[in-house]
Structure 1
């Protein structure tokens, strides 16, 4: 991959894409900035690579139509590009893809087929379908034109912030970071490019560590856009050359980043897009004395999952706590416990009073509480006042 190919992509994409802003995220950290690809026309960066790839097809290839496999964002990028160029398209998506992404893809006029439970399942089906139909397969990440299109983000970052010294990029199959890293390292080699993956889908991280491409047995993450079992052969080689480090974040950290972006930055991020910010928030990358840009790669989050993700984020950041305890079943004991909690300023959302659960002594009952708190220190204050007064509270790590 050469810089001139990315520069060519920039020229082609100029009238098509949005030059998304770089926003100072001072409410998260003074040294943090966000490249807001969630504001791209299709809600994610994938439009860049998809459009550039389709623009380079011959007229004969365009007449054959195209096929792609995607969990959502590549699907929308290809579908939008098909609509703009008048190309017939078929998109294969996993059955588990968010409904919002499925419907958004269909809205551009392509045929959508749902196959398998993971991206890899959909990919295998799409490849077989391509052999049968003779249509052109549009790779989601392992393609030079796709990578070049994504690399235009790197050019835009350096245009706006030449003094940036660290760029954090989500990794699924590796197309986004391959393009960005090629652009940045070609122009400013001193700038670090750090990749981030979900702990539950670390295919590129493990491949780089083991010195060969590996395939994960399974992937399961709220960051569905980067839930990829196997990185690309081309992207693996580029990452090996240009990426300085790959870190991981867990599900709670991703959820917390989504919540913080909503609350503090007024930005909607999907799980994959929020991983870069999660890496910065939870000290996976050093922010002190650096100028750091996080690529927020997309904002196409399924609203049906948003409330669950927010709950997970609230718990991770100490804004909500779930407490269980066994208490002596006698008049006034429950109200006394509630009064103790109210003294700390915590707000009780719900109380579950269970007298007949297995394993509970005849003179006790089990109480489950969900409370709103300010932070982890506030939760500890609640726990302390209950323990001092003879209760035995246990924190539960989920709502």
Structure 2
């Protein structure tokens, strides 16, 4: 397994996409804003996984990012865009864990009060990290009821809501992953992106399609949490009645207008994966690439392993390893 050396490029504007909720200029500005605080994560190569997926595969290792996932990028960008009045009020969000960690980390760096609402089933290590950064951790019985609990708290305490994936500043921050993929892998022909609420998928789509519209972008979503794919089928964001997936990091209970508009316009396909397919990918990433990811972080590779991404043999592909926050006890049970 090797790391691909970075090559700087200057993004070019695409005026045809300037009507989207987030533009390439927003993503470039986000990178300038957050670069002093985050890691530039590696683009790794693994010959074994390339052979298994019949691609020339790169792995964008966001599990090595601050807080263990790409979420730190968008969270920090959103926090840095807040007004002094909003910072003073404090911020509140809902999360399966990774966005909460990213926002708690960002808030701690700038002395902003932060409250995170999660389901009671949230991964203990994610909850511990959120508290470790000094944020408040609150819970609802299941993910589908977290928003209502958070909204009641927000109204009672006058806090500012930072949307976990629909905030344009969040999307722009996540889009910096796409800029790095193009710079470190200029030969890239396709990108398979893990998708829950769609912030990462939308951000990468803006960053990539604005410069290289021929690159195929595919979202990889668990069939037990099909928020984005059902929203695309309905022509609008939808709310799920139930969620059942091993990939808790991809368990968004509802969609957002911003991500929906970008994904519907720019993303080539969103495919559904079974839990078994996601876990098979997780095991192979660990065994062959020697990299540990959480189930959500394996979805992009899973869509390549089962052929759902629809790539021709030999395609220069990149899969996002979106996060690596998994309890050792749960890992033992899953493996």
Instruction: Give the TM-score taking structure 2 as reference length.
Output: 0.90
Structure 1 229/92 Cα, relative in aligned 2: closer, same or farther at 3 Å?
closer
1:196 maps to what in 2?
A: 220
Which of 140, 143, 147 is 1:123 aligned to? 147
How far apart are 1:115 and its partner, in Å? 1.7
Which of 229, 243, 253 is 1:205 aligned to? 229
Contact 1:32 1:287 in 2 (8 A): no
Q: Distance in 2 between matches of 1:254 and 1:135?
A: 36
2:250 maps to what in 1?
A: 226
2:92 maps to what in 1?
A: 67
* CA displacement 1:198-245 (0-9 Å, x = unmatched): 011112112212323332221111100111232111111110001000
Q: Distance in 2 between matches of 1:211 and 1:289?
A: 34
Gap regions ≥5 residues in structure 1: 311-399
Which runs of structure 2 are paired with 1:46-65 in the superposition (5 Å)? 46-65=71-90
How far apart are 1:287 and its partner, in Å? 5.0
Q: Distance in 1 between matches of 2:333 and 2:153?
A: 36
Which runs of structure 2 are paired with 1:1-399 in the superposition (5 Å)? 1-30=22-51, 31-118=56-143, 120-285=144-309, 286-310=311-335
* CA displacement 1:97-120 (0-9 Å, x = unmatched): 0111100111101111122211x3
SS of alignment partner, residue 218 of structure 1: coil
Contact 1:70 1:123 in 2 (8 A): no
Gap regions ≥5 residues in structure 2: 1-21
SS of alignment partner, residue 73 of structure 2: helix
SS of alignment partner, residue 291 of structure 1: strand
2:14 maps to what in 1?
A: none
* CA displacement 1:298-325 (0-9 Å, x = unmatched): 0001222112221xxxxxxxxxxxxxxx
* CA displacement 1:264-317 (0-9 Å, x = unmatched): 11111111111111111121122513100001100001222112221xxxxxxx
Once structures 1 and 2 are overlaid, which stretch shifts more, 24-33 or 37-46? Answer: 24-33
Contact 1:178 1:238 in 2 (8 A): yes
Q: Distance in 1 between matches of 2:39 and 2:208?
A: 20
How far apart are 1:249 and its partner, in Å? 1.1
How far apart are 1:124 and its partner, in Å? 2.0
Q: Distance in 1 between matches of 2:252 and 2:312?
A: 28
Relative contact order (alpha carbons < 8 A, sep ≥ 6): 1 or 2 greater?
A: 2
> How many residues end up aligned between the 2 structures?
309
SS of alignment partner, residue 67 of structure 2: coil
Higher gyration radius (CA): 1
